[in-house]
Every structure is written in structure tokens, then in C-alpha cells.
Amino acid sequence: MIALDGTVALVTGASKGIGQAIAVALATAGADVGVNYLTDQAGAEATCEAVAATGREGQPLHADVSDPSAVQGMIQELQTHFGRLDILVNNAAIGSRHAGSFADYPFSAWQRVFAVNLDGVVHCTQAALQTMLLQETGGRIVNISSSHSLVFQRHTTPYTVAKGALNTLTQALAVEFGPQGITVNCIAAGAVSTPGWPASPQGRDAWMRRAPRARMGRAEDIADAVVFLASPQADYITGQILCVDGGYVHSVTPLP
């Protein structure tokens, strides 16, 4: 039984889907949770209600993770409310699928993908590390990457490259901050169908043909892995890229 009693977590992009499931799972294990959102305030409040139903407290926190000053303000608000920060889950991300090829992909769109999917992680992680290091009690950082950072797919190059850089950032930070008791790990998530991002029938069928587990992922699959990596039981695990993808990365044929 994983127990996170007395800890405080921050989950970015937690107003729906995978982020919402992660926030609720961490609360179920005993953590109070800061629920970051950008545009969906109602979704963030719904996440906080679900957290409250577990007996823990959720706090909605508005911030664009690509804006470093907004992130600093969010961390300060979290500290003022809860008094500490033990777990950071960098989940906020945007997609990049493009009907054309990389040859005509707009550079402004490339910059926006990196601003959220990589720079946003940097902003949140730097701010969280400053807090964790002052506390001198260690900490847990879990980044949400993608199986497509390891098995490539057409028309998603910016997203793929940003997530690949996130994998490398994870490993570099694990080496740097391990001596301070801070573990840094990454989950390479497979295809997950959520109400906010449902898989098309064609996409679902293609994934199920290729992933050995032969089913779509659920948000709870990713959330359960996060809870483990955030737990005391994972204290000797750091710098890892954990594939939670039904075996897709190890299958022979990638998605077309």
C-alpha cells in the first residue's frame, strides 16, 4: 500500500484527462495537490472536487507554464497555501500534428510546442527544485513524456523532438540532484483515450493491432505509475524512462 500522507504535490495540466487522473491518484495515496490549469478553470475546480472526495485538499493554480514569471507566482501561491512542495508532475503539453510535412511546418508553431513541452518543464522544475532544496527533505519529480519519443511517427516531429529532449533532461537532472535526495524520472506514455482527447476508431484499432497488450491506455494507467515513482518505495529509482504503453515501444511495427 503506497502512502503519501503529509506530502504536497503539484500537477501541471491537471484540469482534465491524464493530469486530472494523476492528481486524484496522488490524493488517494494521501497527498494534497496543487492543480495547475491554463484555460479550463471549471475543469480544475472539478479536479479539486475529486481530490476533496478522497479526503485530501486540492488547490486550483492558474499559470501558463511557458511563462517563467507565472510559474514563479504559482509556486509561491502553492507554498503560501500548503507550506511545502514534495512532488512535481510535469504533465502539461500540447500536440503538434501537421497535415503537411516538416518541410513546411511553421517555425512559430515549433516554438510554441517547445515553449510548453520543454521550456515549461524547465520553468516548473527550476522553481520546484529551489523549494525542495531549501526544505532539505528530498523530493520527487516525474515528467510525462511519450512513447513517440522512442518510436517515431510521421507528422509529429516537433512533439517527438521536444519529448526526446525531455527524456534527456530527466536523466541529466537525476544525476545532478540525486545526492540531495531528489529523484527525477520520466513516463513515456502510450496512446491514452480520454473524454477530452478521444481516440478515433481508426487510431484505436491501429494501436490495438500494434501494442502487445492489445488495448488502449487509460489515464489511470499513467496515474498509477506516477504514484509509484512519487512514493518512498521508489527511492532507489531515478533517471529512468518508464514506458507505460502496453508494450508498444517493444513491438516491431510503429504506427503509420
Task: Confirm whether 16 is a catalytic residue.
Answer: no
Instruction: State phi, psi for 227 to the nearest 5 degrees.
Output: -60, -45
pLDDT score, position 254 = 53
Task: Considering the candidates 37, 145, 147, 159, report the single residue annotated as catalytic.
Answer: 159
Q: Which three cell numbers stand for residue 58?
A: 486540492
Q: Does position 199 have pLDDT exceeding 80, yes or no?
A: no
DSSP secondary structure letter of residue 73: H
**Average pLDDT, integer, range 93-106:** 87
Task: Confirm whether 146 is a catalytic residue.
Answer: yes
Please give the CATH number for the structural domain made up of 8-250. Answer: 3.40.50.720
Task: Considering the candidates 96, 146, 147, 231, report the single residue annotated as catalytic.
Answer: 146
Contact present, 188 and 241 (Cβ < 8 Å): yes
- For the segment 100-147, what is each residue's pLDDT rounded down to a tens digit? 889 999 999 999 999 999 999 999 999 999 999 999 999 999 999 999
Q: Does position 228 have pLDDT exceeding 90, yes or no?
A: yes
Q: Does position 196 have pLDDT exceeding 70, yes or no?
A: no
The rounded distance, in Å, linking the Cα atoms of 57 and 245 is 30
Q: How far is CA 250 from CA 7, 38, 39, 166, in A?
A: 35, 35, 36, 20
Task: Considering the candidates 15, 96, 145, 163, report the single residue annotated as catalytic.
Answer: 163
Task: Confirm whether 105 is a catalytic residue.
Answer: no
Residue with cell 529509482: 237
Kindly state the helix (H) or strand (E) to which residue 120 belongs, with its residue range: helix 120-135
Q: Is 196 exposed, middle or buried (0-12, 13-18, 19+ CB in 10 A)?
A: middle
Q: Kindly give, in sequence order, each residue whose CB lies less than 8 Å from that of residue 200, ignoring residues fewer than 6 positions away.
A: none
Q: C-alpha angle 201/203/207, rounded to 5°?
A: 120
Q: How far is CA 88 from CA 25, 112, 200, in A?
A: 14, 22, 31
